[in-house]
Structure formats: structure tokens, C-alpha cells
Chains A and B, each alone.
Chain A
Amino acid sequence: SYVLTQPPSVSVAPGQTATITCGGNNIGSKSVHWYQQRPGQAPVLVVYDDTDRPSGIPERFSGSNSGNTATLTISRVEAGDEADYYCHVWDTIGYNWVFGGGTKLTVL
């Protein structure tokens, strides 16, 4: 089955840029979605189809995808960005959805 690998944790100071990676075999050929989950809350879609943002999501959130790595970038990080972030793709061979293990973003 298809596996997505994320770093367990990322730490960044306020105002700096956070980079969260999602590794997978030839993930660049897939559409990657990203979700933010704050403690005690349901996940929220922040980036879809590699680079697009739903309405209401700040421009500070951006995505990219190439080769074996997809990336979620959060610019000018704020305290409110502290959350778990998950990448998400459709496995066309196994016919199932796959989530990465999640990355806990800590704002120092």
C-alpha cells in the first residue's frame, strides 16, 4: 500500500517560515491535499490539488509537489498556526485514501 511520510514535529519562531514535507513514491504524479487540525477540533482543509487554497485560508499557506516530496509552506507563522498538519492522497492502485502520519507544528 502507498505510504506517506511526514516529520513528527516542526518548530518555528513567530514571523518565520514553516516547511512541512510529505514524502511518497512519485508523489509528484498525485494530487496532494493538506489539512490543519487544532487540538480538540476537526480537520480543516488548507491546501488542495497541490497548490490551491480554499476561500478563507490565508495566502500565507502554500503548497508544492514534485518528485517524491510534497511541501506545505506557512509564511509569517502566527501562534494560531500551532496545530497538527496532515497530507492526503488517493492511492490509485489500492483504491484507498491515504493520510500521512501528521506533523505537529510548534510555534516557539
Chain B
Amino acid sequence: EVQVVESGGGLVQPGGSLRLSCVASGFTFSSYEMNWVRQAPGKGLEWVSYINGAAGGRYYADSVRGRFTISRDNAKNSLFLQMNSLRADDTALYYCAREGGESHGDAFDIWGQGTMVTVSS
């Protein structure tokens, strides 16, 4: 089964750090571009960051640039999001999402169930 599973969320104080992980299975992970998307409670979807298959290209939303770092380990079929200097408005459910590549253009065709990050003192 093609799937991605996120982990690493939790409660963190403002200014703190957290590292999210996403493990992929059922497909050739290194061949796909990956993204992180978040959703604050009761709000819409917000794209956070992108990384290409070889990890040579990375993009970030303005709201997280300079604080978050996306990375991947293709040998371990894993995607990461290092989050530093966390703020209350970073509180959200964080999704890992695959870009469809040849299958579905660049649409996000596989999503995990998300991992919750709560920033609060």
C-alpha cells in the first residue's frame, strides 16, 4: 500500500524546537518530490515547504522561512521538518504530502494523517 506516516508532533513552548518525520512506503521514495502542509485548528490548508527528489531544491512559505528546514533521507524513505523558534501561530496539524509526478502531475496525491504540533506555554 502506498502511504506516508507522520510523527514527532507534540507540545512545545514558544521559542522551542521540534523535528517532524514522515516515513514513506509502497513507492520509490527518491523519485518523488515531497511537501509539508499544515492546518491550524478550524482553518484551511497552508503549504509549508517543498523538497525535490534529490534534495537539491527546497522552497519555503514566507511564514516559516529562516525558522524551518526541510530535509530527506532517501535511504530511509524519510522526510523531515526541523522547526525552530516556534511561535503560537505555528500550532497546527502538519501533513506530509507526495507530489504525484508522472501519475498525477504535480498534484499532492498521497497525504498522511498528520501530526499535531501545539506551541504554548
Contacts and interface: CB of A to CB of B under 8 A. Distances in A.
Interface of B is mostly: strand
A44 B111 contact: yes
A43 B110 CA distance: 9
A51 B18 CA distance: 39
B11 interface: no
A97 B109 contact: no
Contacts of B112: 42
Q: How large is the interface on B (under 10, 10 to 19, 20 to 34, 35 or more residues)?
A: 20 to 34
Interface of B: 35, 37, 44-47, 50, 59-62, 95, 97, 100, 104-109, 111-114
A102 interface: yes
Interface residues of A, number: 25
Contacts of B59: 95-96
Interface of A: 1, 31, 33, 35, 37, 42-45, 48-49, 52, 54, 84, 86, 88, 90, 95-102
Contacts of A45: 100, 104, 107-109
5 contacts: A42-B113, A52-B105, A88-B108, A96-B61, A98-B47
Contacts of A31: 105-106
Contacts of B50: 96-97
Given A96-B61, A97-B47, A101-B44, A42 B95 contact: yes
A35 B108 contact: yes
